[in-house]
Structure 1
Amino acid sequence: MALSGDHKNRGELRIFDSVDEVKTVLAEYINQMSDEAVQDHGFFALAISGGSLIDLMGKLLQPPYNKTVDWTKWYIFWADECVVSKNHEDSSFKHAKEVFLSKVPIVPSHAVPINDSVSAEEAADDYEFVIRQLVRTRVVNASEISDCPKFDLILLELGTDGHVASLFPNHPALDEREEWVTFITDSPIPPPERITFTLPVINSASNVAVVAAVKAKQMLYCWQ
């Protein structure tokens, strides 16, 4: 599994028989994290990986969450993203906008896309700059123990090869410790060019949840 590092806080593994169970539990979990973050510091900074996670968040579009979640306080980031046009079928932003963002009253500028008009390296640098500005304005908290942002929740999906975000097994990006956002141009899953949060950023989050499908079971691993 790609996720590793110095994260030593408590975790919980839950196993479910169906995707619908995961959707229900995930909606309640995200709602709880949102409420706690807004009450504590006024915003909810959520980072999401690509893949099917946006679809798994679908219960949030239904009662009671669609009426009770304080959507105006949400900021959404991408823990990884394909460096493609926002209109491209591989764009996580495009998928999120179609199935989620357009259906809830999130402030449009609070869903923070990557710059898709530059190279992968420049897109990673640009995204890190944007996050640094939001840390300075305290929209995103700063970690007390590292020079990293402290997202309220990072939501990840475990790939069949063990990767999370776009951190693939044995890839040099796993060793990046200085940058918050890095890039790859040789993803084993197309498209090849991507940006991704680094392990120090993932490990600095207040909460992390990893969703995985294993045979007939669905797993949700959360840690704080």
Structure 2
Amino acid sequence: MAGPSPNLYSFSNNDALAHQLRPYVLRCQNAALTRHNSFRLAVSGGSLPVVLAKALLAPGDGSPEDTVLFSKWEIFFADERAVPLDHEDSNYRLLKEELLSKIPAELGQPRVHPIDADHVNDEDPQELADLYQEELMKIFAAKDSVKLPVFDLILLGCGPDGHTCSLFPGHELLREKDAWVASLTDSPKPPPKRITLTLPVVTHAQAIAFVATGGGKKDIMKQIFDLEEGRSLPSSLINQGAGEKVSWFTDHAAVDGVAFPRRGSL
């Protein structure tokens, strides 16, 4: 893999992974608070919210470095399905059930930015994407004109086909250069109508972390990290575009047979 390489971490199980994900996220939080007194992150769905909850809701050591300051967090969605917020396919609902509803009051509550529920039933999800981009512009471009938002952290999953966010292999959205948020009506995975952050927005973040676990991921992980044929996969494009800003948190099963050098701890 030419250029600065991503960091590949591998752990024995999900508990060990979550234990290491916590200090990584909190370092991103603390650096962001130093920069601009808020922590702006985007999250995806899948198994990520479960691992995130395990990492963040675990008891800390009481030090300032290990304290989750949820009241300073602004949470956005790396992608979302064009469904009501209480629908079983909603990434917002998943995050709410797995993490937001379990945050103890004394830790504070993050400010969450869901999609506009009034437009989830539109025939074309473009309006949904436009409104979400406007929401991002309020936060990231309030003072001046910026070409791309700079998230402090984007947390992603990786599908068995190498997709991430709602950026799918071979899809025309991979060539989008200008929009911050794009819509699609032809997702290979149901539901078909979705919105997603675009590739330039993801690679422009201060830090990007993937969580990929289970033996079902080992074939695609080998393609992403070892094989030339995997270089056009969305997850691989993020590795290439963001290099050392990218960290992969995996279990041993997901990287079984992967030759790319991995690390056991941060």
Are the structure 2 counterparts of residues 217 and 50 from structure 1 closer, same or farther at C-alpha, using a change threshold of 3 Å?
A: closer
Q: Which structure has greater strand proportion?
A: 1
Shift of 1:142: 8.5
The residue that corresponds to 1:96 in the other structure is 95
Q: Secondary structure at the match of 2:182?
A: strand
The residue that corresponds to 2:192 in the other structure is 192
Larger Rg: 2
TM-score of the superposition, structure 1-length normalised?
Answer: 0.85
The residue that corresponds to 1:161 in the other structure is 161
Are the structure 2 counterparts of residues 85 and 64 from structure 1 closer, same or farther at C-alpha, using a change threshold of 3 Å?
A: same
Q: Is the Cα–Cα contact under 8 Å of residues 47 and 151 in structure 1 kept in the other structure? A: yes
Q: Is the Cα–Cα contact under 8 Å of residues 162 and 169 in structure 1 kept in the other structure? A: yes
Matched, 1:128 2:133: yes
The residue that corresponds to 2:60 in the other structure is 64
Q: Is the Cα–Cα contact under 8 Å of residues 16 and 217 in structure 1 kept in the other structure? A: no
Shift of 1:217: 8.1
CA RMSD, 1 decimal: 2.6
The residue that corresponds to 2:115 in the other structure is 114
The residue that corresponds to 1:27 in the other structure is 22
Distance, in Å, in 2 between the alignment partners of 1:167 and 1:75 is 23
The residue that corresponds to 2:234 in the other structure is none
Q: Is the Cα–Cα contact under 8 Å of residues 45 and 95 in structure 2 kept in the other structure? A: no
Percent identity among equivalent residues?
Answer: 40
Are the structure 2 counterparts of residues 223 and 65 from structure 1 closer, same or farther at C-alpha, using a change threshold of 3 Å?
A: farther
Distance, in Å, in 2 between the alignment partners of 1:155 and 1:98 is 17
Structure 1 gaps, min length 5? 1-7
Q: Is the Cα–Cα contact under 8 Å of residues 45 and 153 in structure 1 kept in the other structure? A: yes
Q: Secondary structure at the match of 1:77?
A: strand
Q: Is the Cα–Cα contact under 8 Å of residues 160 and 217 in structure 2 kept in the other structure? A: no
Q: Which structure has greater helix proportion?
A: 2
Matched, 1:51 2:52: no
Distance, in Å, in 1 between the alignment partners of 2:149 and 2:102 is 28
Distance, in Å, in 1 between the alignment partners of 2:190 and 2:77 is 17
What does the per-residue CA deviation read over 1:31-62, in whole Å, with 9 as the maximum and x for residues that have no partner?
Answer: 11111111221010010112111101122112
Distance, in Å, in 2 between the alignment partners of 1:106 and 1:137 is 25
Structure 2 gaps, min length 5? 222-238, 246-266
Distance, in Å, in 2 between the alignment partners of 1:60 and 1:42 is 19
Amino acid at match of 1:21: A
What does the per-residue CA deviation read over 1:78-121, in whole Å, with 9 as the maximum and x for residues that have no partner?
Answer: 0001110001001111111122112225546x110011321311
Are the structure 2 counterparts of residues 116 and 202 from structure 1 closer, same or farther at C-alpha, using a change threshold of 3 Å?
A: same
Distance, in Å, in 2 between the alignment partners of 1:71 and 1:223 is 27
TM-score of the superposition, structure 2-length normalised?
Answer: 0.72
Shift of 1:172: 0.8
The residue that corresponds to 2:36 in the other structure is 41
